[in-house]
């Protein structure tokens, strides 16, 4: 709490959604980067104590969605080219295309060449859709996106906003009211690493070269055997996920934002539709598994169900039970377990070379990681 009586989320709970920053009428909040590279709000002396920031914090003010009934589907975009370019089954592209076709706009995360980071942006043309397709495993900078969403809604436009569950909750809290023209689509979120880690990885992978394109889920060798691809002005470098240091640090949970280990927004999901990978499709619906990607689609509201109906003729879609849908994707309903290495990881990142980080945190075997987790959970003793 600051001296004006403003109480925002604590540092361990803050998701960095930037709702408070967007809500401040006097521009008295800055989003500043911590030593770990995560954004947090800083309230300046110009604060007038109006508490609009506090009222927009999704952690302080919990939003509850009007869930009718969660329904789950396995979906595949019938356009094979779009599916292959997508991280999973290509459903997001269909949803976005529908909104654009209706004259609306779509907000999503893209890799920004100038800053070499992930930022949120707006598109209003089909030809720009590729920018915000595919998963990005880093926290996107929202900037003034929430303000722009509200302006579009006030102008009478349809808006599809895609992001993490905490960004969806932040937008809902910022808006403070429901809009029939607003469609909220979130992703099943494992957690987010920071900008500092991403930038150091990029410099390590492509020294003295600017990355022009980045694909965290390049399916060159299939959906389950995806890899990281980095494109410079000269070439594209592809590395399988099992060997890529960034993906291994991410998948082993060392580098996530502190709030991700105890996510407050999973239990109060505000999205109309949730998208993810349908891991386990081979066991649930083997007939449609071709290793080119299958989307898990969860509709949470009547509006979400209606939106899905608008694209159903362009995809292969099979309803499944919610239990089968999330059986192999626990990130839908639970937070990531915080590893004991997390306490030291970001300290090392600021003091060690990335090469040394790779040796310390990636060269260890999965057996060692599993053993560490079992010790942490007190299932076995060291």
Q: What is the mean pLDDT of residues 351-359?
A: 95
DSSP annotation of 141: B
Q: What is the mean pLDDT of residues 277-296?
A: 97
The b-or-e profile of 133-170 (16+ CB within 10 A means b, else e) is bbbbbbbbbbeebbebbbebbeeebbbbbbbbbbbbbb
Are the C-beta atoms of 167 and 321 separated by less than 8 Å?
A: no
Q: 314: pLDDT confidence band, cut at 50, 70 and 90?
A: very high
Q: What is the mean pLDDT of residues 146-167?
A: 98
Q: Is the pLDDT confidence value at 195 over 90?
A: yes
pLDDT given at position 349: 97
pLDDT given at position 61: 86
Is 57 inside any structural domain?
A: no
pLDDT given at position 68: 62
Is 318 inside any structural domain?
A: yes
Q: Which two tokens stand for residue 39?
A: 């954004």
Q: 363: pLDDT confidence band, cut at 50, 70 and 90?
A: confident
Cα-based angle 130, 108, 71 (whole degrees, multiple of 5)? 100
Is 342 inside any structural domain?
A: no
Q: What is the mean pLDDT of residues 74-81?
A: 98
Is 243 inside any structural domain?
A: no
Is 208 inside any structural domain?
A: no
Is 353 inside any structural domain?
A: no
Q: What is the mean pLDDT of residues 345-352?
A: 96
Per the structure, the count of domains in the chain is 1
């Amino acid at each position: 709490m600051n001296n004006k009586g403003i109480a925002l989320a604590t540092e361990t709970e803050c998701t960095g959604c930037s709702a408070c920053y967007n809500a401040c009428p006097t521009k008295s909040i800055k989003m500043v980067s911590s030593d770990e590279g995560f954004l947090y709000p800083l309230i300046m002396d110009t604060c007038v104590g109006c508490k609009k920031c506090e009222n927009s914090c999704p952690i302080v003010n919990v939003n509850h969605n009007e869930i009718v009934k969660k329904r789950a589907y396995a979906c595949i975009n019938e356009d094979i080219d779009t599916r292959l370019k997508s991280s999973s089954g290509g459903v997001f592209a269909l949803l976005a295309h529908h909104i654009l076709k209706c004259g609306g706009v779509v907000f999503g995360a893209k890799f920004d060449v100038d800053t070499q980071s992930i930022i949120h942006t707006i598109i209003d043309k089909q030809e720009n859709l590729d920018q915000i397709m595919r998963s990005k495993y880093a926290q996107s900078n929202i900037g003034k996106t929430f303000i722009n969403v509200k302006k579009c809604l006030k102008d009478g436009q349809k808006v599809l906003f895609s992001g993490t569950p905490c960004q969806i909750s932040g937008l809902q809290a910022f808006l403070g009211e429901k809009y029939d023209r607003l469609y909220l689509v979130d992703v099943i979120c494992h957690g987010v690493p920071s900008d500092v880690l991403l930038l150091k990885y990029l410099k390590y992978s492509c020294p003295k070269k600017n990355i022009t394109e980045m694909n965290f889920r390049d399916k060159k060798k299939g959906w389950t055997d995806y890899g990281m691809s980095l494109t410079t002005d000269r070439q594209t470098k592809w590395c399988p996920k099992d060997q890529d240091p960034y993906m291994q640090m991410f998948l082993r949970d060392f580098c996530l934002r502190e709030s991700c280990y105890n996510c407050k927004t999973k239990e109060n999901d505000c999205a109309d539709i949730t998208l993810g990978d349908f891991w386990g499709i081979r066991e649930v619906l083997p007939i449609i598994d071709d290793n080119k990607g299958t989307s898990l689609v969860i509709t949470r509201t009547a509006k979400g169900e209606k939106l899905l109906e608008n694209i159903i003729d362009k995809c292969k879609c099979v309803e499944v039970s919610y239990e089968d849908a999330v059986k192999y994707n626990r990130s839908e309903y639970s937070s990531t377990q915080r590893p004991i290495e997390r306490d030291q990881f970001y300290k090392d990142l600021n003091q060690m070379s990335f090469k040394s980080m790779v040796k310390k945190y990636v060269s260890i075997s999965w057996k060692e990681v599993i053993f560490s987790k079992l010790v942490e959970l007190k299932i076995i003793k060291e």
